[in-house]
Structures are given as C-alpha cells and as structure tokens.
C-alpha cells in the first residue's frame, strides 16, 4: 500500500468474486456518515436514514431539505442510464465501422483515519490521518516549490484546527506529497491521481482522448487500460475487464477473417 492510497470505488462485486480478492485480504470498511464541520460550530452530517438526513439539511435550508428526495431520485435516474455504460467499451469517435457508428449514437480537504479500522498502522493510542485536497497550481508538477507546498499544507491543517481545536498540536509527524513527487515517483502526469480530469470532456469516448477510447492503440497488438481509460479514475477494475473483452473480440474477428480467406 502506498502513501497515495485513498478509497476503493465502484469495484464490481463480480470482479471481487472472480479475482477471489477476499482470499487475499480484501475487505471494505464503508465510509460515513458524511460529516462537515464549520468554524462557527455548526456542522452538516448526512446519516443514511432519509428522515434524519432531511433533518440535518433543514438546519441550513428547509427548502433544500424538502427538495432532497426529488434530488436523490433525479440522481438515481441519471445513474440508471450512466451506470451500465461503465461496463461498455466506448466507440472510437470518427470511426466509420458500422458497429461504432451505431454505438456513437448512444449516449476543502477530505480526511480519513484508516487506523481507526486497522490499529496496526500506528502505535497504541496514536493514529494515522490521510488528508486529500484539490487543487494546487498546475506548475507545481514540473517546477516544484517546496516552501509553497509546505505553506499550503500549513493552511490545510489550519482549516482543520479551526473546527477541531488542538489538532495541530496533536501532529507528531507529517508527510506532504505534492504533484511533483506524484508525477516523478508515482508516474502520475501532472500529479493527477485520476490520470485525467473526471469532467464530461474527458470521460467515456473522450477518455483518455477522442479516437482512443476503444482501448486499442496505433501499435497493432498493443492495448491500453488503467485509470486513464474508461472506467477510471479510481479503483474499479473495470478498465482491465474491458480491455480483456476487447482483446478477445479482436481475436475472434481475426479468426473469422482467416477462415473467410481460407
């Protein structure tokens, strides 16, 4: 496990089963409930129970609380459409192949304390806390500024101190990993943990770039998979499964072509 380990997300149950991940120690500790404290003493907590969640939201806005169920239903409707697309191999935009033509028509810091669940990560009575933030100047990746990065980390800790007095004094050691280290040591271009933004222009057939979303490359027999391809970012296992499906489909097509020539 690296210092950049974050959370597992959207890892399909069938992949967990097929890879026998449980036999290798895979276990999910669900996050939650969501908790966002404010410097004025108020906080927003989102428990799983709908009524309790509405009551929490109502502390800030009665209108938002009244609309929350409709909002959840709206998101569920979007998810019902987009969710199955995770398992699809996107078409290559610009392709004139009939199957691809048909498919082109379908269309503040976050912190966690893992030692709460695994006390082997820290000595007794102590804890490890991971703090993940976005964003920093894009130039940090190519031209690191250690002083500016340290000052940025100080500001992040100060934000937590504002809602959890004493937090700063409780820190015994800290490791600050900026975008330059992420790029040079972990191979994350630009220091982006998702290998590309999770924006509409860089998802589905735009991931990793238009014309390359079907996992093939200009080099025959060379395919791509990983967080930068459809199904990423995050830890989902979906890019690996999709690329295997693409390779198998291409091999079947090649066998048929050989039979036709024979």
The b-or-e profile of 85-109 (16+ CB within 10 A means b, else e) is ebeebbbbbeeeeeebeebeeeeee
- pLDDT digits 0-9 by tens, 195-247: 888 877 888 888 888 888 889 999 999 999 888 888 887 778 889 999 999 99
In terms of pLDDT, which residue wins out, 122 or 135?
122
Residue 85 has pLDDT above 90, yes or no: no
Q: Which residues contact 240 (CB under 8 A, 6 or more apart)?
A: 225
Average pLDDT, the chain: 84
**The pLDDT value given to residue 75:** 87
**The pLDDT value given to residue 100:** 56
- Model confidence at 95, pLDDT cuts 50, 70, 90, reads low
- Does residue 23 have a cis bond before it (omega within 30 degrees)? no
**Helical (H) or strand (E) element with 37:** strand 34-37
Q: How is residue 141 written in tokens?
A: 């990746």
* Dmax (CA) of the chain: 78
Q: Give the residue ranges of DSSP H helices in 83-178.
A: 98-103, 146-163
Nearest to 88 by CA among 217, 231, 226: 231
CA dihedral (51, 28, 88, 104) positive or negative: positive
Q: How is residue 49 written in tokens?
A: 């129970």
Q: Are 103 and 227 in contact (CB under 8 A)?
A: no
**The pLDDT value given to residue 97:** 61
**The pLDDT value given to residue 61:** 94
**The pLDDT value given to residue 105:** 46
- Model confidence at 63, pLDDT cuts 50, 70, 90, reads very high
Q: How is residue 23 written in tokens?
A: 């036999």
Task: Tell me, yes or no, if the pTM score tops 0.85.
Answer: no
**The pLDDT value given to residue 1:** 62
């Amino acid at each position: 496990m690296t210092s950049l380990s974050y959370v597992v997300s959207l890892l399909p149950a069938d992949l967990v089963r097929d890879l026998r991940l449980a036999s290798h120690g895979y276990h999910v500790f669900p996050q939650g409930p969501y908790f966002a404290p404010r410097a004025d003493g108020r906080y927003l907590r989102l428990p799983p129970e709908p009524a309790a969640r509405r009551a929490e939201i109502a502390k800030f806005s009665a209108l938002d609380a009244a609309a929350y169920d409709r909002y959840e239903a709206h998101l569920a409707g979007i998810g019902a459409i987009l969710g199955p697309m995770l398992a699809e191999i996107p078409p290559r935009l610009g392709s004139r192949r009939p199957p691809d033509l048909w498919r082109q028509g379908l269309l503040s810091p976050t912190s966690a304390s893992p030692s709460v669940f695994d006390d082997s990560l820290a000595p007794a009575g102590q804890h490890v806390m991971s703090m993940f933030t976005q964003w920093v100047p894009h130039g940090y990746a190519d031209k690191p500024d250690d002083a500016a990065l340290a000052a940025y980390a100080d500001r992040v800790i100060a934000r937590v101190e504002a809602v959890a007095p004493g937090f700063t004094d409780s820190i015994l050691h800290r490791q600050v990993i900026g975008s330059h280290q992420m790029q040079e040591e972990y191979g994350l271009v630009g220091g982006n943990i998702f290998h590309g933004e999770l924006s509409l222009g860089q998802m589905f057939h735009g991931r990793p770039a238009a014309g390359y979303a079907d996992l093939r490359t200009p080099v025959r027999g060379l395919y791509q998979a990983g967080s930068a391809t459809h199904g990423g970012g995050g830890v989902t296992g979906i890019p690996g499964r999709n690329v295997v499906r693409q390779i198998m489909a291409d091999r079947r097509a090649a066998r048929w072509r050989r039979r036709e020539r024979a």
